[in-house]
Structure formats: structure tokens, C-alpha cells
Copies of this chain bind each other. A is one copy, B any other.
């Protein structure tokens, strides 16, 4: 595969665009093909067998477009389908969980790691397993935060409602005396970088000092850059192209996508899987 080939990135919908945003900052020369399987969003409430089947469809569609590597920009898929995708495809496949877990283990020190995710990601124990693979001592406190997904898609990013929701979801990260129980908090869902500052501010306000917030999207992009450099697969040259594919409703996808990507999307192509 040529180093000029694109990176393929997929997610069940919009959220993975925060990973694309981080990738464009970390590796601006890379071409990117993004596939949002919004006809079947959300994956988080599906059974593992269904998620694996959907992920297969997405990954094949990207492989058919000649990408040089695939980034699974979805915590749910990363937690159940990476092995299968790696076994099936003759391409490097990266998820978003291991990079976030690695960064969290590095900053948390002796303290437990707090993880915010969808109900599915938390219940899957994926972060627990990823951290256990890195350290036998690191504990985890997981908190499902599904309303943050809805708030992100609705565009309610600040004001009383998101602040109260965030505050409530952060409660398990503090003990009865109000002291923090965690050494850092991982944003374990691709929607949550939209609330990174609010989460950091609420953590600091309650703890009386900053608590690091680990953004899986940023950590994943950093890992991809290092991986491409190591294997001499990085593209040189001018800013890369971004192609966006969706499986349903390209118009309304484009309307909301800009919030996740940080810049407006002009063209969205509709495909069938």
C-alpha cells in the first residue's frame, strides 16, 4: 500500500469525527476517509454479535477504497471487534481504547482511573481489561454517561443542564468527604471531547485542584502518528483530503458534523453497506 493512501476511520455515527479532528491536528498531511454508519447508529445498545457484523461491513467498505490503515473511532466497536477485524483484514487496525488506557495509566500514578463512557462501553469492561494489560495495580471506576451523547448531538454544550449532568456523572469519582478517588478521568466515548473543558472545570472545582482529563481521541491520533512514522507509512506534503461517507441522511449528518469536527463539512457522500 502506498504511503499516499488514505487512513480509513469509521464510527457508528458522528462521534468518530472528534478522532478525525485530532488526526488532522496530529497528522495534517494524511488523507482521511471517514465512514459514519448512521443508518445503524447507535451501536452501543446492540449485542456483541451484531456489532461485530456491522464493524465488518464498515471495515470492508474502507478496505475496498484502498486505505492504508483503519482506525476504529468508536469505543463500542474497539471493545468487541478489533481482534476479528485484525484477523480478517490485511491492514493495520487501531482502536481508541488502548491509547486512552495507556495515557491514563501514565498520569494516574497510584490512584484509580475514572472512566466516562456509554453504558455499553462501561459494562463491557473494555477499559478494565486494557488497564489490566498495562498494570496489575491500576484500579478503575467506571461511570456510564449516556446523556452526554444526547447533549452533544443536541448541541447543548454549556449552561445549567450540561453542568448538572456532568456534576452528577462525576460523583462516583469523589468519596463521601468530597476528596477525589481518581488520579485522572478518561473520556471513553468519542462524543465526550465536546465537554472536555466543562468536565475539567467541574473536576477542579470539586477537588480544589486540577485532575487530568485524558482524551482518547487525542491519544489515538498521537499513537497513529507514531505508528505511521515508525513504519515509514506517513504521507508527506500539503494538507490531506477528508472524504466523508455515511449510510443514511447525508444532509442532516453534515448539519451536526461540524460541531464534532471543529470545521464545517461541505460534502457528504451516501453509500450502502
Instruction: Enumerate chain A interface residues (CB-CB to B < 8 A).
Output: 38-41, 45-47, 50, 146-147, 149-151, 153-154, 156, 160-161, 164-165, 168, 248-249, 252
Contacts and interface: CB of A to CB of B under 8 A. Distances in A.
Contact of A45 (B38, B50, B147, B149): B38
15 contacts: A38-B45, A39-B50, A40-B40, A41-B45, A46-B249, A47-B248, A47-B249, A50-B248, A146-B150, A146-B153, A147-B151, A147-B156, A149-B150, A161-B164, A161-B168
A38 B45 CA distance: 8
State the main secondary structure of chain A at its contact with B: helix
Most chain B CB within a 10 A radius of its CB, from A47, A164, A249? A47
Contacts of A156: 147
A230 to B, nearest CB: 39
Contacts of A40: 40
A161 B168 CA distance: 10
A249 B147 contact: no
Nearest to A40: B40
Nearest to A162: B161
Given A39-B50, A249-B46, A161 B165 contact: yes
